[in-house]
Amino acid sequence: MWIAGHTAFGYLVAKAGFSVARKPLRPDLVLMIFFFSNLIDATHFGWLRDLTHNAIGTVLFTALALLILDRLGMLRKGDGPVLGGVSILHATGDLLFGGYLPLFPFSNRVHWAFPWNSPENLVTESALGFLFVAVFCLSADFKRARRFSAGQRTLAFRDLRPMKALDRRFLRIYMFTLFYLLFVGQLVYYLLCKHLGDLLSGLWYFWIFLLAFALMLSVISAAAFTAVDREL
């Protein structure tokens, strides 16, 4: 799966769970869900990918990340299962589209239902992307995330007072910035550069996916960087 698909999948499943429980999604948790939906792709470099794209590695890497953030005071009660769940959900996306090694290190066989960039993959991720935009914008999540992001920037950069070793505001900004740069980088490099031939050849599912990908990026950009009312 692409970053767009993992992000949409993780958010929509978490949103469904919170809706069933009749609880609102906190804006900081929404941004963390974006990050954790793509967490195990942090080692997406050659053979290092195999270390996290297996049942044992996915669970251990997720647990390590949660432990670190908990020690830094980044998590509230109940956040761990939500973020851990969307991180492990990443494996489902890769089992469907892309490739996963469920039995590693006992077997190096890669499993998937459909190849990455197949019509089934891109059409499914496009549908997830459009659904993400609809749910995120029509619910209160967009406005809450927008206000929260603006507030974080205001508080973090209002002055240059001395801070503790790892200020939580800067850490949130750093984590989201990392996620955002990977999102933009994947759009520019993989979709617009490496697969430019597929786009120019008129493959309709690539164009639909490009539209969904760009729309998701625009909505997330608006939530993260657009100025809001002065009351912040």
Residue 116: Cβ within 10 Å count: 13
Chain segment 165-198, per-residue pLDDT in tens: 456 777 888 888 899 999 999 888 887 887 788 7
Tell me which of 156 and 184 has the higher pLDDT. 184
Domain boundaries in the chain? 3-225
Asked whether 220 and 34 are in contact (CB, 8 A), the reply is yes
Residue 226 and residue 24: Cα distance in Å, rounded? 22
User: Residues 155-167: what's their mean pLDDT?
Assistant: 55
Asked if pLDDT for residue 98 goes beyond 70, the answer is yes
Residue 231 has pLDDT above 50, yes or no: no
Res 60 pLDDT > 70: yes
Three-class SS of residue 197?
Answer: helix
